[in-house]
Amino acid sequence: MTDPRTLPQGALSHLRVLDLSRVFAGPWAGQMLADLGAEVIKVERPGEGDDSRRLGPPFLRGDDGQPTRDSGFYLSANRNKRSITVDIAKPEGQQIVRELAARSDVLIENYKVGDLARYGLDAPTLRALHPRLVYCSITGFGQTGPYARRAGYDSIFQGMGGLMAITGHADSEPGGGPQKVGLIVSDLMAGMYASVAILAALEHRDAVSGQGQHIDLALLDAQVAALSHSAMGYLVSGDPVPRCGTQSPTAAPSQMYRCQDGAVMLVVGNKAQWQKFCDVMGRPDLPADPRFATNPDRIRHRAELNAILDPLFLAQPRLHWIDALAAVGVPCGPVNELHEVFADPQVRARDMLVHQPHPQRAAMPMLANPIRLSQTPVQYRHRPPALGEHTDEVLAELAGYDAARRRALRERGVI
């Protein structure tokens, strides 16, 4: 691994983040800040750690081909952090968190509403002690409302937040009905919103008020907000958003088509593209057909249009259509399996796969951060840490705990 001391300073290298969160949304926000240069200290339970460490299979395979104890889930959201173990149920553990919070700019937590108040680690208590602290609480339903104390996971919020209602094939089609998106979209969106909110609160603190603030961020809220244009379509019309599978409800042809050796996604977005598309497909007559003259016409007669297009696509391999349509500026791309994603020349050219050393693997593959900054590029300074790997160094550096004190705390199970 590159020596972090030789790297250029990250955009957020002046910040320290205390990350008390577990599983995904909070760790995802923390990793974003860490990738941008912030020092992020991950606080975990002694002996147990973040639940996501055990969320597998799959687990990372070492160079010997055997699974390690690191799940892909955990590894996806915890690079560039240092891990310490602290039992916050013990008074000495609570004091450690308070001391670290006093030396931090941001605290991220995703405990159930009210849990941290029992330990004196809630937002009002810590912000009274440290007014410049930006305290971000990420929960399923938020700090207020009738569901505030309920637990929940991504799939619950995909269902409650409307994403499943607009995803999947129509009820009238085979296999129709609401479908869950394969990714944990609610967690991803909440983590991204959290990182933006944290940066906004820091800017307000440093440029306007001199004071931190409490951020109340809910996965359900994030999922509802992420409905974006689909929700606005419903709000302005009162009409439910139809489930269309891979088809677009607002454009045609815009969907997946099967070819000889796989499938492609096609989007014909305007009149000029429609004409060029028909020329490439060998059907320059279609734009003159009144059923297909305009986009609304093509949507109304989508079944008849697909009866013409389906056999045309099937007559050639997908690369034939991708190259031919790209040549005239009509968007079309392959429907890739994951091994094809990471072999794609564009993905490779953009360096979306990076490698970091791991105790059981010389070069552990990881997804890159997509942010490209010209002066303060993202740095991959540290692999995701082992449980408690940095407890001694963090307590010595930031809290001034000597070896004897750390040994006593370890003997009492505090760290």
Q: Which of these three, 340, 360, 394, is where a domain ends?
A: 340
Q: The domain spanning residue 151 has which CATH number?
A: 3.40.50.10540
Phi and psi at 292, nearest 5°, equal -125, 15
Predicted confidence at residue 1, as pLDDT, reads 41
**What is the spatial distance between Cα 301 and Cα 289, in angstroms, rounded to a whole number?**
11
Q: Which of these three, 340, 360, 393, is where a domain ends?
A: 340
Predicted confidence at residue 9, as pLDDT, reads 87
Q: Is the domain of 37 the same as that of 130?
A: yes
For residue 272, give both structure tokens. 């000029």
Strands 353-358 and 361-367: antiparallel
Q: Is the domain of 198 the same as that of 263?
A: no
Work out the number of other CB atoms within 10 angstroms of the CB of residue 392: 16
Q: CA of 85: how far to CAs of 71, 220, 300, in Å?
A: 19, 30, 60
Residues of the chain with pLDDT under 50: 1-2, 4
Q: Is the domain of 335 the same as that of 218?
A: no
Residue indicated by tokens 């391999």: 317
Q: The domain spanning residue 278 has which CATH number?
A: 3.30.1540.10
The H or E element containing residue 85 is strand 81-85
**What is the spatial distance between Cα 245 and Cα 243, in angstroms, rounded to a whole number?**
6
**What is the spatial distance between Cα 4 and Cα 105, in angstroms, rounded to a whole number?**
21
Predicted confidence at residue 205, as pLDDT, reads 98
Catalytically active residues, by annotation: 187
**What is the spatial distance between Cα 21 and Cα 215, in angstroms, rounded to a whole number?**
14
Q: Is the domain of 263 the same as that of 186?
A: no
Q: Is the domain of 21 the same as that of 109?
A: yes
Identify the DSSP state of 332.
E
pLDDT tens for each residue of 178-224 = 999 999 999 999 999 999 999 999 999 999 999 999 999 999 999 99
**Does residue 237 fall inside a structural domain?**
no
Phi and psi at 65, nearest 5°, equal 85, -5
Q: Is the domain of 112 the same as that of 34?
A: yes
Q: Is the domain of 291 the same as that of 206?
A: no
The H or E element containing residue 217 is strand 214-218
Q: Write the DSSP assignment of 345-364 as a string of letters.
A: HHHHHTT-EEEEEETTEEEE
Mapped onto helix, strand or coil, the DSSP state of residue 119 is: helix
Predicted confidence at residue 95, as pLDDT, reads 97
**Does residue 372 fall inside a structural domain?**
yes
Q: Is the domain of 32 the same as that of 109?
A: yes
Q: Is the domain of 222 the same as that of 364?
A: yes
**Does residue 45 fall inside a structural domain?**
yes
For residue 85, give both structure tokens. 């173990």
Number of domains, the chain = 2
Domain that holds residue 116: 4-226+348-411
**Does residue 384 fall inside a structural domain?**
yes
**Does residue 77 fall inside a structural domain?**
yes
Q: Is the domain of 14 the same as that of 63?
A: yes
User: Looking at 220-317, which runs of residues are DSSP E strands?
Assistant: 254-259, 262-267
Q: Is the domain of 184 the same as that of 93?
A: yes
Work out the angle between the directed axes of helices 185-204 and 25-35 (0-180°, nearest 10). Answer: 50
Alpha helices in 293-402 (DSSP H): 295-300, 302-314, 318-327, 338-341, 345-349, 391-399
Q: Is the domain of 196 the same as that of 279?
A: no
In angstroms and rounded to an integer, the radius of gyration of the C-alpha atoms of the chain is 26
**What is the spatial distance between Cα 155 and Cα 251, in angstroms, rounded to a whole number?**
29
**What is the spatial distance between Cα 152 and Cα 259, in angstroms, rounded to a whole number?**
41
Q: Which of these three, 288, 319, 340, is where a domain ends?
A: 340
**Does residue 244 fall inside a structural domain?**
no
**Does residue 243 fall inside a structural domain?**
no
**Does residue 307 fall inside a structural domain?**
yes
